[in-house]
Homo-oligomer: A and B are copies of this chain.
Amino acid sequence: MIGGGQGAFIGAVHRIAAQLDGEYELVCGAFSSNPEKSKASGTLLGLAPERVYSSYKELFEKEKQLPEEERVQVISIVTPNHVHFEPAKLALESGFHVVLDKPMTFSLQEALELREVVEKSGKLFCLTHTYTGYPMVKEAKQLVASGKLGKIRKVYVEYPQGWLSKFEEGGDNKQASWRTDPSQSGIAGAMGDIGTHAFNLAEYVSGLEVTQLCADINVVVEGRQLDDDGAVLLKFNNGASGVLFATQVAAGEENNIKIRVYGEEGGLEWQQSDENTLLVKWLSKPAEIYRTGTGYVSSYAQHNSRTPAGHPEGYLEAFANLYRNFAQSVRAQIEGKEAKAESKDYPGVADGVRGMAFIEQVIASGKSDKKWIDFTI
């Protein structure tokens, strides 16, 4: 693991997600750019001292030299955005598979480069767009793909948060500080942090690609350096249209990412606050409630749950699904087999490139007087 030392939120989440199904064991780490802190974190996590490294460079260097059966196989990178590209590139080039937190890189340029690195390396790469790991999000995608909703016409996706309603940065709130700092986060704040999740979810579930967008991007809290709010009109490649909004200043909201997709015959609705329910609405018959863990859901939904219906599986299980599917894919590659379609259904470098393009173009649109901006890569 690169990053994720004491006090980091997402590092702990990655560790739980990885070990939840017993598919991974944490064997080494470079948990901080400060060697002392890295050591301290490694000790707390019970690692062998010789495998707690001072830097990711040292980690790759030393681990490469270990015998294959001891050597780490998958590198998780959970650093702030500006420390994504370099370690990911180096990890891949050093022969490791990589799990990387989103957004993929600091800039679209880096993303395009990383795509090439992944392709050349022959190694597997997973980008943790967590929400696509929920069983009912899988079901939503499968339902759209089945054609039962008819041709898709409308996509509404939203991600309201309230935790940046005040000026939180600059003090003890480490999360707030780096996420609002352009030198660590890049050109976007809310749009990079959560807008990319919403964008990815919209494309994943609908099976469509955004072709044009028109954005209203705001810095609501005085003194903040990056956007904390935005709304985007969308056009898709099949002629459908949509709305995306993401905000960190909706005081009182938690993390209720939500998507609605409508076709000619019906629509669907999923939201994280009721994570194990997929609401399916029909033009002229009763709406249906699809539920995680039931016998009637698709193989994709079943593959991504662990318990019978009614035992709620939450965020950590969704995250663990990414890790588990990635592990199954890595194992298949090692064994020279083809992984199951369900196992290969995890977000990858292509999602990362589109996410970075979204960030660049949504910020550009926010500054533009022109209504529609083409979404190009």
Q: Is A249 an interface residue (CB 8 A)?
A: yes
Number of residues in A with C-beta < 8 Å to the partner? 87
**Which residue of chain B lies nearest to A372 when distances are taken between CB atoms in the complex?**
B369
Total copies of this chain within the assembly: 4
Per the 8 Å Cβ criterion, residues 286-327 of A in contact with B are 286-291, 293-296, 306-317
The answer to whether B265 and A251 have CB atoms under 8 Å apart is yes
Contact pattern, A 261-301, Cβ under 8 Å of B = 1, otherwise 0 = 01111110000111110001111111111110111100000
Q: Is A7 an interface residue (CB 8 A)?
A: no
Contact pattern, A 236-264, Cβ under 8 Å of B = 1, otherwise 0 = 00000111010101111111100010111
The answer to whether B243 and A231 have CB atoms under 8 Å apart is yes
Residue of A15, A26, A262 with most chain B CB atoms under a 10 A cut-off: A262
Give the complex CA separation of A153 and B46 in angstroms.
Answer: 47
Distance in angstroms from A317 CB to nearest chain B CB is 6
Give the complex CA separation of A371 and B272 in angstroms.
Answer: 32
Distance in angstroms from A8 CB to nearest chain B CB is 13
B-contacting residues of A (Cβ < 8 Å)? 9, 12-13, 15-16, 19-22, 26, 45-46, 149-150, 153-154, 156, 161-163, 165-166, 214, 216, 218, 220, 229, 231, 233, 241-243, 245, 247, 249-256, 260, 262-267, 272-276, 280-291, 293-296, 306-317, 368-372
